[in-house]
Structure 1
């Protein structure tokens, strides 16, 4: 019991760091779990990811880790998508996790097998005190096909530290040869396995057999080869050590638990889940023993909150693509577990568990403390969006499941599985999980067919629709007078959530129909309802998108919503089924799309207010665009907005946002609303009566009590029919990314809010680090190349205007230092080149020489070659020179010729002379007699080219004689 209490998770991690720090290792912080600069990975899935550039030899000399010889770390890892995906196993067994820590010690060309093996055994048995009799080690058995010998050195080293012979086991290429990928660094590895049962048994036969009680805890990779394109192996110039030890598995062993989930890594999370849900305590039961499924649900929720928190903190925001989709899938999977097994209300469930995780792991990973509020908001937003369809989706699943049972197939059709995703937002793996609970199967091929069919139908509609049909004055009259269709109620658009309405008519662009029955498939049309929560495009705010459905009967995809004379037309196409006038439908706008639109619209109001406060009363709105990506605001102003002014505007806007003001709105009689001091409206715009007044921070009723109160001028008050956030804090941040003139006296500002603002802030930070790397580079080809590319990338960088100005100012100094050094070296090389040639002619034996042919002690410097040629052209016209610069090592060669009057009189021309040389060095030459210059492509032939230049001239002079 004493040992169990001693080895808390925190103590295990701390001891690991201290052990290797005492042996000369530098503690390196974990890299982001989101590899923003590595497009080959969805997530960081192994400890070696951040050290990959060292192993590949691509590390910049100025990178913080480039000087490392020994390192120790704990790396945040996620395996829930792509090549490594443990999501399906989480909850079912005792040792799989989508998020985990990988402890590691590293040697970059320093120590190798002997030290790695000795320290592994010492730490596990002497420091941590694990029973040596319960440990088993493996070594690479060799592979004759690959021409690889058994790693007997590792075997002998394990024996030398005291591992019994029957605990040292051979392993094949799959288990004991580690490779970074199809190409690149690789090598044999040696694993350490732990028998959780112990008791004197020999578990050698269970090693690497997927036995949950005999698990791998540590892997020592001996990185010594480089896999080539042809699959052959070359020895690396330096040998490296790359180790990875599963933190959760190690803690489980040290606390003598058969399950990772029974350790203090997870118990604080289980305690919080129990507190939030009121469920029975966690009992660590599995499979059939977990009769009510609650222990499995505990494990799933605890695992998923870890992945969600760390991925979102590091910038993987839920969406429908790549790593963002993985995050969304995990959250929806977890939400369904919480609802089904804990009867939890979905909408703010995971954010209630979040504080326990932050308290437990925030000291080791401070980024989750810093980002806690952002994570909370994103979790709630995503849960809320899924909660809207979860009930209906589960009911629909039960129908599909009943059909599968009744028809005897016990298989869900691919079309049904796809519909559960497409209509109700159920990821396929969630449906698969639900199917397994019911003993049902799914056919991946059928799902793929359904997915492709839907994609093709969507593509066909997209290609056929240029613009959706509009209602003209005659059709509006027909609706109102002949058909007597009332104007719909669109008040629900101002509130979150779905609404129900009834189909009034179907509009084809030319006629109104009662039914869609006779329309060809994939025909675009408009839908008129008596009630809707969809926002029709107006006031600069883009239209909502989403769907109008009758569950399992019909689904209409809404791609555009427009308003004509009070009538709202939902434009799109029918994905399946048919719609008839009078039927009740569910209106689902895309909440995850509208959320950033709301941010940007309220942000526009705040920006408008700040512009007036900073630039004066002559600021009037001239146009705006509010969509899910950005806000764009056009305004009258005679001059460009200066950087100090922009700084004030952005600062004032963010101060307003951070006050977390409540947003108030109310329909007010137009004449009364106009009296509110400082109210903003678009000049020339016709407003309805009553008009909707939106106030940021002060109740509209309070404004109306004393409308002319001068204090109201300090408040953002506008006439607006758009959708807004409930409180400004939801916006998080505003970043101005562009300020420009679009017409005489009209300026434009583009800004980002929310997650988009955070994304550009991360991009700015990454670019700042890039400049730091370039700053630290010594002058040379690498720095010159980086400066050139960075100049292009900086011009295209979309970040805060203020930050970009700072980056440009800073980078200008780097550019100037490079230019100054280039000029300095250019001048020095020109002098070196000229001194070499004039020095040649100054020698007694060469004073009468008519020409010089030679390889100058300079780089491939065209300017230096030209300077020497020009010297002779202007000051020593009789003599000729053929000059070469560059080298094989540099990989570049330049050459140039000046034919003086002495050789010219003998028929020598620069064009023909240079042509003979170009045949050897490659490339072409150009110029006007008596000079010619060129850049060769065959730098390795520079000496041969010098020789050819001499031979050609000798032959020419011989002929002329």
Structure 2
């Protein structure tokens, strides 16, 4: 509904959000949930508010409606901007509100927010956007609400960014949730992470962020895994999330407590319109033990902005003193808490008591101290502001919801989940009230799709290590909820929810849109892989749980929990969740013990078995004739998913057995089956790994697969149980390993084709290796390939990949297959008849209709028995990471595809950012040290050869600039050093002096000290100099030359420097009459200079005696 002013004048005037001394007002809207006393109101009513003698308007968000004590009816005057006296419903206490004309006085005094109509919080074309305004109190225009009834999440976020942008803050884009440059973090978990270099003083002076004085952002955060882990709580309550946004405003040596407190109160109460009576603030109560006074300054500032004293609560070190770590910037903080109940109660006693209805929404940190190594605190010369406000909690408050999940941040996701699953609608119930568990499942899945999408978009691909395993755990946890509570089909479940998230958050975070296809593919791959074992894993869990309950135990054994992980891929926290549903617990110590035992056993087997036993010609004959064992069917290796087979025989390296019963544990074995889906090593493709299982009875771990005379031997060892001839087993190859192998094998075919296109028909394959990490291709070519041609080969290969061509295969008569124009085969290789033909982009039958068609040379056609992708789009990317010669006329290319290529590209980007950082550093020891480290890192990077050459060129340029600067400064500092000493001796009072002891105005420059010593050693041999260079905050170098005037009296350089080194530490070296060295304790520089003077004075005194 449009404002009254707009309706009557056809104009859109500014709405000012500010109230101070004077009356407050309200409005009610049709369709809004109102208290019973307000039943019957059919449309909005507004009042004006008095502020500093002016009458202004403000929209009242619905969060205030439920606790209003008076609501006015609409003004019935038909005249624009007239004065009238509205009436109130009889069910409430009568109050009078006066509507008057909005004055036209200078609006710059009104502290509120002007909406920036760019449609986006920041421009992607530059790092920061900014506003020139920086006054504490400003004029502004409140956002025009999409609905008169409530704040939307999008409006809340934009209002926050705009509010601070108008106060001189640069709008900074969120950093990645994967902190590539911070090895201390698993994920970005707070808004301050990207600003740590500013707080720590390690940022380069010319870096963009180094110029920041004020910043505002909304930071993507993940708290799952590591020290900060909310995963176990998600779904169970109304406010925990593994992914969330942190709104923050920052001051770097600019404004401090007064502005931070005033603006936070203004934004919450005057712009967002939160009821001040439902807000509580805390301040640091002090710590006598640590010598810290109470932060009474903050308390008084809260009183000044109008917070009642009984809403201001002292807090201890735990709640109200923030520290980055054991050392570094720190300071007291003030938290703002919101009472979701209200109704006139005082909830001060519930603040910081884990009450879900009295929640912290904003934390304002006053960074004013520096924690020293000895735990003491020093005041910082420049003080900073670091704030963080939970976006989800703020929206919950503004939309008057007791649960974050009841807001429009999550409702679009719930709607999509319901659409995909056909489940009942979400009802926001918890605990025992959520009888069927479906509301909890809604919350878990909505939360998890957010984490998964943003983590993958920012480069955290699922795997079994570090943050990659966190992503995998979260996905598997979500998949299990989807299956159990929604009976959802697993394989494409999460990717069906993804579009709703992209639509909702893609404008603010464009990486979601850009990476949507990649996110979908990775989610689907992971779901498919887990779906393979989910059914069997759940059945096995039920067996373990039933046994535990039957035995009277209240817990699952650690061995069973580990086996569920090791065999079925169930993360420990998922098993814990399932156990809780059965009233069972798990013992962490037992699980850790089982894990260590399994690892030690696996390590022992791998160390003991250098090579599994092979079948020789006699053993093959024995299988064929004496034992009459048919060769297995292995067609399933070209298909996805598990297959069933029967145990034929067990080979222990010497003989064939019918049972493993009498064999020692962890004996290396070879298993022969009648049917298998495992790929045996051949054609350059490595063997599959995986498991052969009888659920709950036995598990055989497959480490290698080889084929001998048509017999396939699965090499490995029994994890537990026994196997016997005739046992029916499930063959489960490792799909997560097989998928990149497929990518690399098809990538090899594409690379082979591209090489021929770029370098000519004389290119012939000489060998290849295809594994899960890379592809390696050897071929005939006389000379090294130029970077220009490498680029052509790489570009052509990726063009082929992005056409998303289907890979076809068919067994064809060998002679007929050889007739196909342009078919590629390895010279000297023996092929079976029929031979398998793999064609990319054209059906094999189509090729055979006219095998001599010259057009077939334009496509990749090869004889191949390996596994391949269904279509080339699944490969995603191919990058060449190595090109080298391995023999005369033989070249080798190593390439990465898929996620391996993307990881290499991310590593290159991280290194490029490191070069940005180094380039921005001021010349000095830190820059020199980082360049030295970067040189080693660059040599060790396995990335695209093209990108590496670009980075090397850039690095060389930076390196040269530093060397040039070093020479320039070296020359200048040597001159300064010499001039300083010379000017001392040139003074009238020093012309007869034979000694100079002093601290030179230069950096810790050993060469400059050496130049001074050399000058006096060769040009002015009689005089002595003891010079120091550097600073007590950095490094110190010192050196001495003992001139003939002193050496003739028995003074030596060794004696003199020894006395000084006893003070400043470190060692010196050199031959008489000079020595140089570095001080190990630079903070004692002044003391060391004094010692040099005193020692000589005492020495000369002793000599004169």
TM above 0.5, one fold? yes
Which of these residues, 690, 706, 712, is aligned with residue 546 of structure 1? 690
Matched, 1:643 2:787: yes
Note if 1:99 corresponds to 2:99: no
Kindly indicate whether the alpha-carbon contact (under 8 Å) linking 2:749 and 2:860 is maintained by their aligned counterparts in 1: yes
Q: 1:893 maps to what in 2?
A: 1037
1:318 Cα shift? 0.9
> Would you say 1:269 and 2:389 are equivalent positions?
no
Residues of 2 paired with 1:912 and 1:208: CA distance?
64
In structure 1, what is the Cα distance between the partners aligned to 2:201 and 2:366?
17
Counterpart in the other structure of 2:575? 431
| Structure-2 residue corresponding to 1:117 | 261
CA displacement, residues 733-756 of structure 1 (integer Å, 9 cap, x when unaligned): 111111112222222211111111
Return the alpha-carbon distance in structure 2 between the equivalents of residues 931 and 577 of structure 1: 77
Partner of 1:492: 636
Show the counterpart of 1:459.
603
Distance across 1 between alignment mates of 2:269 and 2:231? 33
Mark the runs of 5 or more structure 1 residues left unpaired by the alignment: none
Query: Is 2:190–2:219's contact at 8 Å kept on the other side of the alignment?
Result: yes
User: Following the alignment from structure 2 to structure 1, what is the Cα–Cα distance between the partners of residues 998 and 477?
Assistant: 73
Deviation track 1:426-479 (CA, whole Å, cap 9, x = no partner) reads 112212222222333333333223222222222222222221111111111111
Cα deviation 1:482-535 (Å, max 9, x = unaligned): 112111111111111001111111111111111000100111111111111111
Is this contact kept in 1: 2:817–2:837, CA < 8 A? yes
Q: Is the 8 A contact 1:888 1:942 kept in 2?
A: no
Instruction: Provide the residue aligned with 1:218 in structure 2.
Output: 362
Partner residue in 2 for 1:186: 330
Match of 2:207 among 59, 63, 66: 63
2:180 pairs with 1:36: yes
How far off its partner does 1:226 sit? 3.3
1:22-171 equivalent positions in 2, closer than 5 A: 22-171=166-315
Q: Is the 8 A contact 2:421 2:486 kept in 1?
A: yes
Q: Judging changes above 3 Å, is the alpha-carbon distance between structure 1 residues 885 and 709 closer, same or farther for their aligned structure 2 residues?
A: farther
Equivalent residue number for residue 318 of structure 1: 462
Q: Which moved more, 1:599-608 or 1:232-241?
A: 232-241
1:241 deviates by 2.0
Alignment of 1:466-485 (within 5 A): 466-485=610-629
Match of 1:301 in 2: 445
Shift of 1:232: 4.1
Please identify, of 17-26 and 509-518, the stretch whose mean Cα deviation from structure 2 is larger: 17-26
Contact 1:861 1:885 in 2 (8 A): no
Residue 666 (structure 1) aligned with residue 810 (structure 2): yes
List aligned pairs for 1:750-761, cutoff 5 A: 750-761=894-905
Q: Which residue does 1:393 correspond to in 2?
A: 537
Contact between 1:20 and 1:72, CA under 8 Å: does it hold in 2?
A: yes
What is the rounded CA distance, in whole Å, between the counterparts of 2:206 and 2:800 in structure 1? Answer: 41
SS of equivalent residue, structure 2 residue 947: helix
Between 1:264-273 and 1:188-197, the stretch displaced more is 188-197
Instruction: Please give the alpha-carbon distance, in whole angstroms, between the structure 2 residues aligned to 1:467 and 1:114.
Output: 72
Matching residue within 644, 655, 660 for 1:516: 660
Separation of aligned partners in 2, 1:583 and 1:291: 43
CA shift, 1:118, in A, is: 1.9
How far the C-alpha of 1:794 sits from its partner, in A, is 1.8
Tell me how far apart the structure 2 counterparts of residues 935 and 210 of structure 1 sit (CA, whole Å).
55
Alpha-carbon displacement from aligned partner over 1:831-886 (angstroms, at most 9, x marks no partner): 55566677788899999999988776654444445556666788x59767657462
Q: How does 1:281-680 map to 2 (within 5 A)?
A: 281-680=425-824
Task: Give the 3 Å change call, closer, same or farther, for CA 918–350 of structure 1 in structure 2.
Answer: closer
Inter-partner Cα distance in structure 1 for 2:465 and 2:979: 62
Using the TM superposition, name which of 371-380 and 625-634 deviates more: 625-634
Q: Counterparts of 1:729-744 in structure 2 under 5 Å?
A: 729-744=873-888
Q: Which moved more, 1:75-84 or 1:204-213?
A: 204-213
Q: Distance in 1 between matches of 2:248 and 2:1014?
A: 61
- Name the stretch that deviates more: 920-929 or 739-748: 920-929
- Change in Cα spacing, 1:513 to 1:110, as seen in structure 2 (3 Å) is same
In structure 1, how many angstroms separate the alpha carbons of the residues matched to 2:1000 and 2:239?
A: 66
Per the alignment, do residues 397 and 910 of structure 1 end up closer, same or farther by CA in structure 2, a change over 3 Å counting?
A: closer
1:264–1:859 distance in 2 versus 1, CA, 3 Å: closer
Q: Within 1, Cα distance between the matches of 2:1074 and 2:346? A: 85
Match of 2:401 in 1: 257
Question: 1:202, CA displacement in angstroms?
Answer: 2.8
Q: What is the CA distance between 1:580 and its match in structure 2?
A: 0.4
- 1:943 counterpart residue number: 1089
Bigger Cα displacement from structure 2, 335-344 vs 742-751: 742-751
C-alpha separation between the residues in 1 aligned to 2:923 and 2:936?
A: 19
Task: Give the deviation of 1:922 after TM superposition.
Answer: 6.2
Structure 2: any 5+ residue segments left out of the alignment?
1-31, 33-43, 45-60, 63-148
Which stretch of the first structure deviates more once superposed, 501-510 or 208-217?
Answer: 208-217
Gap change, CA 1:33 and 1:860, over 3 Å in 2 = closer
Take 1:262 and 1:250, find their aligned partners in 2: how far apart are those partners?
12
State the Cα distance separating 1:726 from its structure 2 match. Answer: 0.8
The 3-state SS of whatever aligns with 2:408 is: coil
CA distance in 2, matches of 1:386, 1:510: 37
Counterparts of 2:289 and 2:603, CA distance in 1: 49
1:128 Cα shift?
0.8
Instruction: State the SS of the aligned residue for 2:384.
Output: strand
Cα distance in structure 1, aligned partners of 2:413 and 2:771: 39
Q: Which has the larger displacement, 157-166 or 87-96?
A: 157-166
**Partner deviation per Cα, 1:184-204 (whole Å, 9 max, x = no partner):** 333332222222222223333
> CA shift at 1:249, angstroms?
1.2
1:18 is matched with 162
Which secondary structure does the structure 2 equivalent of 1:541 belong to? Answer: coil
Deviations 1:555-592 (A, max 9, x none): 01111111122211111110110000111100111101
SS in 2 for 1:62: coil
Does the 8 A contact of 1:139 with 1:155 survive in 2?
Answer: yes
1: CA distance, partners of 2:1088 / 2:291? 40
Q: How many pairs were matched up?
A: 957
Deviates more, 1:591-600 or 1:941-950: 941-950
* 1:709 match: 853
CA distance in 1, matches of 2:274, 2:564: 49
Cα distance per residue 1:631-677 (max 9 Å; x no partner): 11122211111111111111111111111111111112222222222
SS of 1:603's equivalent in the other structure is helix
**Separation in 2, partners of 1:192, 1:932:** 62
TM-score normalised by L of structure 2: 0.82
Instruction: Provide closer, same or farther for how the CA distance between residues 109 and 703 of structure 1 changes in structure 2, counting only shifts above 3 A.
Output: same
Tell me whether 375-384 or 593-602 shows the greater mean CA deviation.
593-602
Offset of residue 113 of structure 1: 2.3
The answer for the alignment partner of 1:700 in structure 2 is 844
Superposed displacement of residue 131, structure 1: 1.5
Change (3 A) 1:669 1:881: farther
Hey, what's the Cα distance between the residues in 1 that align with 2:368 and 2:991? 59
Aligned-pair CA distance for 1:694: 1.2
Distance (whole Å) between structure 2 residues aligned to residue 808 and residue 921 of structure 1: 40
Q: 2:571 & 2:1057 partners in 1: Cα distance? A: 67
Larger deviation: 73-82 or 53-62? 53-62
